[in-house]
Structure 1
Amino acid sequence: TVGRATERLFAAAAGRLGPQLPLRSVLLQRSLRRRRGEFDLVVSTANEFAVQGPSVQYVHYPQFRSHVDDEGSLPERLWSRLAVPGGVPSEARLLANSSYTAAAVDRRYGREPGVLHPPVDPIEGGTAWPDREDGVVILGRLAPDKRTLAALSVVDRVRERGHDLSVHVVGTAAPAYREYAQRVESAVADRPYATLHRDVSRDRLEELLTSIKYGLSGKPGEHFGMAVAEFVAAGMVAFAPDSGGQRDVLDGDPDRLYDSPEDAAATIAAAVDRGDQPRLRRDRFARDRFHDRLRTVVRETVPAAARRRHTT
């Protein structure tokens, strides 16, 4: 609850200026320091902080010290010096959203977090597997980093192998990526077997995911891979690059992970040839699992004196 005014300010400005995450973190951290004595424990779900005293910090991906990975600009180095000048305090209990993120935290801070995958509830119901559409869903922002066009070309290659698959592109586009979104729209229009679904409701998204057989992610190095997790939650057969958090989501299955567009087409075609059905449980990342583990970590981290104070 610390820094609500700061959070509201940055939320209002995000549409024009972007999220400004480093500045937001520095300001929130300073606000928290002024009130640190009021709390027994700090719990952050906004990546790493240099907060003294017991804390639980959930890292989606480390936002500072990227220069350790040879990726940091001069501004990034300055933000890192302001935000985490001495690294993450030893009292902090670190959690990461994937093994991939945990390894990045370890490289930058010399601390390997525990892995706690984010909550993705199962999407119940839908069409029985034999009656589902023989199609592929490409889900996510219409943006270059998501490689939507590359994923479309993968489906083209699968079709060239003799599989009559449809493709559904589902996503939104920020104003900054208007040109790329237009390219996606044109590419879909050129393919009679393709459909573009923009800005769909949650109900419509779930209807699509539970009525189509396959899901495809085109982006390597996702910190977790929420779209892939949604495919799993909807009972689809999902495919993703063999990198990033998607490896966790797909349990490292070589029949679902690919190294290149050519390998992606071959991997999908082989699964179709075999008549593969989903192997992973829909409730693999259900929220109860997440909540139970987080509560356990908090109980383990709250100082013993504070626990005695609150139980007497």
Structure 2
Amino acid sequence: MARVAVLHNTLDFRGGADAVCLHVCEALQAAHDVTLVTFSRSSIADLDRLFDTEVYVAVHRPREAVVSRALDALPEQFGPQLPPRSVLLRRAFARRADDFDIAVSTANEFALPLPSVQYVHFPQFNRRHAAGETAGRLDPVWSRLSGLGDRTLPADARLLANSAWTADAVETIYGRRPTVCHPPVDPPPDPRPWAEREAGVVFVGRLAPDKRPLRAVRIVDGVRARGHDLHLHLVGSSSARYADYARRVASAAADRDYVHLHRDAPRSRIDRLLATHRYGLNCKPAEHFGMAVAEYVAAGMVAFAPDSGGQREILGGRADRLFDTTTDAVATIAAAVDTDARPTRPRDRYASDRFHAVIRRHVAAVLDE
């Protein structure tokens, strides 16, 4: 049994990266002494209900959490500020690093003083060196403070990436290519046959500007204008950080009797919607993986997403499932409804037991080394 530190800057935004963190803890907790090191204020019990996990690890919140909470007070347009949180987390963890045999980062790349497995959703430092990426003005500052300003990752770090697209970015920045390990996504129980499913669209994602739920509303508006009687379920976790935006989403839903908003829905409710509807819609361009898109595929739905990022891999690059603009999305979904398009992608490709086995295998390999 090894002493394992799982590093995750914050779980308070309740997105796909946070689901990966909970699943990593779940994968390792039976065989190792696991401590989750995080600034997050969210309770593990709440996250278990959201992500359908059963985590019982110790949780350590360093004193720097007060600074992380101060970042929560920044206006929405400043974004989640994950790089400075990770800089703080690395410095806080350095005080306790000797207490552990190995670290597992589920919050991207770190310069750590002990052997590690690092799961990269997308590089958080040195982003200005990635082709086509927009990096903030402070990217050089945070990269230097992170210990990665020279673009050299620790030699004893084993790298994993959520998609080939992310792996390309890591290789471009750091000259090392991670192993692709897709995030865990289980099929919902008891999916309905196609003929018994509702002709409706499900959108799963944070009620935040980057996920663009308001775009989903406009897309369904457009498909309905073409004569298709589709309804829309917006299923999103909410954060105090994006309270104003969430209110705009709620207002848009209230103005339409065919748009239904489900805030902070339990996993059972999400699974029920996925198992009983035909279409899934993602609206965020350049998703690093696209957990929601994978959920739609696992549920036996026809999924649609922007033609960029890791979600292209999930949908096999199919032109009849991918779109560039809102107008293109309307035409793509309307065509699928017209032709009664059916799902074709394998449903069990991203099952959580596969993910757990891969994580355990990589941790064991680093410990053996």
The TM-score normalised by the length of structure 1 is 0.86
Counterpart code for 1:79: W
Distance 1:4 1:80 in 2: 21
Cα distance change on mapping 1:161 and 1:23 into 2, 3 Å: closer
Do the aligned partners of residues 203 and 14 (structure 1) sit closer, same or farther apart at CA in structure 2, a change above 3 Å counting? farther
SS of alignment partner, residue 235 of structure 2: strand
Q: Distance in 2 between matches of 1:113 and 1:217?
A: 26
Distance (whole Å) between structure 2 residues aligned to residue 193 and residue 30 of structure 1: 49
1:137·1:170 contact (CA, 8 Å) conserved in 2?
yes
Choose the corresponding residue for 1:57, options 111, 115, 118. 118
| 1:80 is the counterpart of 2:80 | no
Is the partner of 1:159 in helix, strand or coil? helix
Q: Find the counterpart in structure 2 of residue 178 from structure 1.
A: 243
> Does the 8 A contact of 1:117 with 1:290 survive in 2?
yes
Match of 1:22 among 72, 79, 83: 83
1:8 is aligned to 61
Instruction: Compute the displacement of 1:157 (Å).
Output: 1.6
Cα displacement string for residues 210-253 of structure 1 (whole angstroms, at most 9, x for unaligned residues): 11111111111111111112212222111110111211222322
Q: Tell me the amino acid that sits aligned with residue 117 of structure 2.
A: V
Are 1:273 and 2:331 an aligned pair?
A: no
Could you say which residue in structure 2 is the equivalent of 1:44?
A: 105
Secondary structure in 2 aligned to 1:119?
A: coil
Q: After superposition, where does 1:1-312 map in structure 2 within 5 Å?
A: 1-2=4-5, 4=37, 7-9=60-62, 17-18=71-72, 21-30=82-91, 41-51=102-112, 54-69=115-130, 71-83=134-146, 84-86=148-150, 87-304=152-369
After superposing the two structures, state which structure 1 stretch, 137-146 or 2-11, moved more: 2-11
**1:46 partner letter:** A
More helix as a share of residues: 1
State the distance in 2 between where 1:5 and 1:137 align.
31
Residues 277 and 62 of structure 1: CA distance in aligned 2, closer, same or farther (over 3 Å): same
Give 1:74 deviation, angstroms.
4.8
Distance 1:195 1:31, change over 3 A: closer
Gapped runs of 5+ residues in structure 1? 305-312
Question: Cα distance, 1:159 vs. partner?
Answer: 1.7
For residues 300 and 270 of structure 1, do their structure 2 counterparts lie closer, same or farther at Cα, with a shift above 3 Å needed? same
d(CA) in 2 for partners of 1:16 and 1:30? 17
Checking the alignment, whether the CA contact within 8 Å between 1:40 and 1:303 is kept in structure 2 is: no
- Distance across 2 between alignment mates of 1:93 and 1:298: 9
Q: Which moved more, 1:29-38 or 1:88-97?
A: 29-38
In the alignment, is the contact (CA less than 8 A) between 1:52 and 1:91 conserved in 2?
A: no
Distance 1:4 1:149 in 2: 34
CA distance in 2, matches of 1:11, 1:238: 38
> Does the 8 A contact of 1:97 with 1:115 survive in 2?
yes
Take 2:137 and 2:262, find their aligned partners in 1: how far apart are those partners? 40
Q: Secondary structure at the match of 1:144?
A: coil
Q: 35-44 or 206-215: which moved more?
A: 35-44
Deviation at 1:172, TM superposition (A): 3.2
Q: Which amino acid aligns with 2:308?
A: S
The question of whether the paired residues in 1 share the 8 Å contact of 2:202 and 2:274 is answered with: yes
- Please tell me the root mean square deviation across aligned C-alpha atoms, in Å: 2.7
Identity %: 55
Cα distance, 1:50 vs. partner? 1.7
TM-score (norm 2): 0.74
Q: Distance in 1 between matches of 2:270 and 2:98?
A: 45
Q: Find the structure with the greater CA-based Rg.
A: 1
Cα distance in 2 for partners of 1:23, 1:132 equals 45
Pick which of 16-25 and 174-183 moved more.
16-25
Deviation string 1:1-42 (CA, Å, 9 cap, x unpaired) is 448486524667755533664344334434555666676544
Q: Distance in 2 between matches of 1:237 and 1:129?
A: 10
Moved more, 256-265 or 23-32: 23-32
